[in-house]
Amino acid sequence: MLTHIFGDLPHQQSKAIRTQRQPAMPWQDLPQFYVDHFKARKTYDITRSTLLFLILTAARSGEVRGMTWSEVDLKAKVWVIPPDRMKAKVQHRVPLSDVAIEILRHQIGLHQELVFPSPLDSVVLSDMVLTAYLRRVRAPSDVEGRVATAHEFRSSFRDWCSENGFARDLAERALAHTVENKVEAAYHRTDLLEQRRPMMDAWASFITGR
């Protein structure tokens, strides 16, 4: 026992427990959230366009807000995030659903470089814009008295994957999670882009009802 060597150490919460306490929208609530805040709109303002794209791609807020047109291939329906913009400093490819592509096409012409520019000064959109929107609409979460956060839509996606029978490996790669096991990581030679595509299409279909 480690306590025999080190004595009684202060109890430290695991990363999983700490993360679990962050307010996430239950995946079952997402279709209604889409109907209430996206479906009935003829056009999307920059905040809702950014948020919906974030949800559809299960990407981190900073990755979406800093997205540039040079990273996008509309014909191949793929978004390639360079290493310097990724948490793990490894390139990440995201297969784009038809709904995600539709959002991007609406963004064309707003800015020469940024996909989701701030409407005020044409710089990267602030994370607080998404936070303020979710608070304003009182986005439901699994934590009583708190609204869902933009980052935790990734958790909503991960739970949906588990509940709907998608392989753990595909879900983890979609979230760009690093493989901690060095032996396992050594065999990860592909990002399974095309195998992930049907999963992301199904996720978009679930949310939008298309």
| Three-state secondary structure call for residue 114 | strand
Distance CA 48, CA 41 (A): 10
| CATH code, domain carrying 152 | 1.10.443.10
Q: Are 198 and 165 in contact (CB under 8 A)?
A: no
Residue 97 lies inside a defined structural domain of this protein? yes
Task: Assess whether pLDDT exceeds 60 at residue 22.
Answer: yes
Q: Are 18 and 163 in contact (CB under 8 A)?
A: no
Residue 14 lies inside a defined structural domain of this protein? no
pLDDT tens-digit map of 35-67: 999 987 766 699 999 999 999 999 999 999 999
pLDDT tens-digit map of 71-123: 999 999 999 999 999 999 999 999 999 999 999 999 999 999 999 999 888 89
Residue 122 lies inside a defined structural domain of this protein? yes
Distance CA 173, CA 93 (A): 9
Residue 16 lies inside a defined structural domain of this protein? no
Residue 194: give the domain boundaries.
Answer: 22-208
Q: What confidence score (pLDDT) does residue 12 get?
A: 45
Active site residue ranges = 60, 87, 151, 154, 177, 187
Which positions ≥6 away from 189 have C-beta within 8 Å?
none
Residue 147 lies inside a defined structural domain of this protein? yes
Residue 171 lies inside a defined structural domain of this protein? yes
Residue 15 lies inside a defined structural domain of this protein? no
Tell me the DSSP string of 66-100.
T-BGGGEETTTTEEEE-GGGSTTSS-EEEE--HHH
Local confidence band at 190 (pLDDT 50, 70, 90 cut-offs) = confident
Tally of domains in the chain: 1
Q: Are 149 and 131 in contact (CB under 8 A)?
A: yes
Q: What confidence score (pLDDT) does residue 44 get?
A: 66
Local confidence band at 189 (pLDDT 50, 70, 90 cut-offs) = low
Average pLDDT, the chain: 88
Distance CA 125, CA 207 (A): 24
- pTM here is 0.86
Residue 90 lies inside a defined structural domain of this protein? yes
